[in-house]
Structure 1
Amino acid sequence: MRLLFLGDVVGRPGREAIVDQLPALRTKWKLDLVVINGENAAGGFGITETICDDLLNAGADVVTLGNHSFDQREALVFIDRQPRLLRPINYPARTPGRGATVVEAANGGRVLVINAMGRLFMDALDDPFAAVDKALHDCPLREVVDATIIDMHAEATSEKQGMGRYLDGRVSLVVGTHTHVPTADEQILPGGTAYQSDAGMCGDYDSILGMQPEEPVRRFVQKTPGSRLEAASGPGTLAGIAVETDDATGLALHVAAVRIGPHLSQSRPHFWE
């Protein structure tokens, strides 16, 4: 199965990069499933129903979120009627929405997607390891689904690596989101799980984490209140990870970073090109 995960969409540049490029990539790479983290898609803060629909219409099968899940208050309502939009599974039980879903891939396979959020340097939530464990127990790889993707939305690289090692051999892909900087550690772990500490962002990399750099720099220098952070407005880059899995096991056969656009070194899955 051919899987593509794209990192945090930040503002209009990220949205436009996906709308402009993803439909052609789905065809060229014969993708079976695409997951996109959309928690910064609305000007850098949360997601709206219209933007969620745009990402799904462009070729995403599932949109995941994170600590900005409900920055746009309308998300508290529409998330319950959009089964392909996930918030972290370890949010409190009464939080609107869901943290996991099973979707049908283009090849007819069934894929479990789980969105989890770390706790180091983040909001206090329930244990993500226990929450993911329960979801996997209810929907195990090779028995119920053909592939499993975990979006581990976390600040600490160690916590993301911990989730990767904890789930090695039990899921197809563990990929980190949240820090907006693509890491160079894409690999297949010893048990067969594909892993990357952070997929990076889909947005304008002539920025600070997708934001216009002037105000963040001013805050670092002066440490005084200032204006609101604004999303950068230059051309967007797609960043993420491509994984091909073994249909017999659901584990990874090939993995490659994806970076398409200005400012970063380019990377594409050579095994699909």
Structure 2
Amino acid sequence: MRFAFFGDVVGRSGREGLAEHLPELRRRLGLEFVVANAENAAAGFGITEATARELFAAGTDCLTLGNHAWDQKEALTYILREPRLIRPLNYPALAQPPGRGAQLFQTEAGRNVLVINLLGRLQMDSLDDPFSAVDRELEACPLGAAADAVIVDMHAEVTSEKMAMGHFCDGRASLVAGSHSHVPTADAQVLPGGTAYQTDAGACADYDSVIGNDKEEPLRRFTTRISGGRFRPAEGPATVCGVFVETNPLTGLARRIEPIRIGGRLAQHVPHVQHVAAE
């Protein structure tokens, strides 16, 4: 099975970049399933029904969220109507958050894909333990039995916490990909137990920016410590960043992981796939 995970889609630039490149990537790479983190899709803060519909129309099968999940209040009700929208799993039970933190999907070829969204706790809002939360989901829907693939989006600030999650899930997930920091890391690898891993998938955003934001306001705050207004997404051409994973159809574990970078300013990389016929 071949699937892709794309990092944080930031504003209009990110949405338009994904819409421009994803249809051809699906065809060229033979992608059966596509996940994108969309917590910054609506003007850089949260998601709306309209922006989600744009991303689904572009070719995504599932959208994950993060610490900006509820910045747009309509997301609190939209997520109840849209099972393809996944919020972080590890909210405290007392919060009673709407929606789902994990969801099992079925592809057109009949394969079952479990998607799990987690929020880290280091230098982030303190939620429940993401490790115990993901452990329960992986026990309830094991890879190679109930699920043909398991994709974990670890939305976290600190690289050590993301790496620890990769090793914690090794052998039980097809992919653990980090999101949130908007910069693609150079550590794409298959871990010893067979789980594909990258510390951060990067962002679908204009990289002539400060992590996807127009440079003026971040620079003002860094140099003067005075806020001059809200952050606004940069509006230049996006580099669409993510990871491509190919799995063993018998086990669901990864055979291969490679980064995807297309469009915009960063060095381009699209994996070469010789045969895209269904396995």
Gaps of 5+ in 1: none
Distance in 1 (CA, whole Å) between partners of 2:236 and 2:274 is 29
Residue matched to 2:193: 191
Distance in 1 (CA, whole Å) between partners of 2:108 and 2:204 is 23
Does the CA-based 8 Å contact 2:220-2:227 persist in structure 1? no
Distance in 2 (CA, whole Å) between partners of 1:56 and 1:27 is 16
CA drift at 1:51? 0.9
CA drift at 1:57? 1.7
* Structure 1 length-normalised TM: 0.98
Residue matched to 2:261: 259
The one-letter amino acid paired with 1:194 is A
Distance in 2 (CA, whole Å) between partners of 1:11 and 1:262 is 15
Q: How does 1:71-86 map to 2 (within 5 A)?
A: 71-86=71-86
**For structure 1, which segment, 50-59 or 170-179, has the greater mean C-alpha deviation from structure 2 after superposition?**
50-59
Distance in 2 (CA, whole Å) between partners of 1:215 and 1:167 is 38
Q: What secondary structure sits across from 1:43 in the alignment?
A: coil
Residue matched to 2:247: 245
Residue matched to 1:160: 162
**For structure 1, which segment, 84-93 or 175-184, has the greater mean C-alpha deviation from structure 2 after superposition?**
84-93
Residue matched to 2:102: 100
Distance in 1 (CA, whole Å) between partners of 2:227 and 2:65 is 28
Residue 20 (1) aligns with residue 20 (2):
yes
Does the CA-based 8 Å contact 1:187-1:195 persist in structure 2? yes
Residue matched to 2:119: 117
CA drift at 1:69? 0.2
Residue matched to 2:181: 179
Structure 1 residues 93-148: Cα deviation after superposition (integer angstroms, max 9, x where no partner): 30111100011123221000000010000001000001111111111111101000
Residue matched to 1:36: 36
Does the CA-based 8 Å contact 2:38-2:47 persist in structure 1? yes
Residue matched to 2:230: 228
* Structure 2 length-normalised TM: 0.96
The one-letter amino acid paired with 1:140 is P
CA drift at 1:272? 5.1
Does the CA-based 8 Å contact 2:29-2:273 persist in structure 1? no
Residue matched to 1:90: 90
Q: What secondary structure sits across from 1:192 in the alignment?
A: coil
Structure 1 residues 2-50: Cα deviation after superposition (integer angstroms, max 9, x where no partner): 0100000000010001111111211222111000000000111000011
The one-letter amino acid paired with 1:225 is S
Q: What secondary structure sits across from 2:244 in the alignment?
A: strand
**For structure 1, which segment, 214-223 or 101-110, has the greater mean C-alpha deviation from structure 2 after superposition?**
101-110
The one-letter amino acid paired with 1:188 is V
The one-letter amino acid paired with 1:68 is H
The one-letter amino acid paired with 2:45 is F
Does the CA-based 8 Å contact 1:39-1:46 persist in structure 2? yes
Residue matched to 1:55: 55
**Identical counterparts, % of pairs:** 57
Residue 9 (1) aligns with residue 9 (2):
yes
Structure 1 residues 147-196: Cα deviation after superposition (integer angstroms, max 9, x where no partner): 00000000000000000001101110000000000000000000100000
Does the CA-based 8 Å contact 1:33-1:106 persist in structure 2? no
Does the CA-based 8 Å contact 2:29-2:272 persist in structure 1? no
Distance in 1 (CA, whole Å) between partners of 2:4 and 2:274 is 12
The one-letter amino acid paired with 2:108 is A
Q: What secondary structure sits across from 1:230 in the alignment?
A: coil
CA drift at 1:262? 2.1
The one-letter amino acid paired with 1:2 is R
The one-letter amino acid paired with 1:164 is G
**How many correspondences in the alignment?**
273
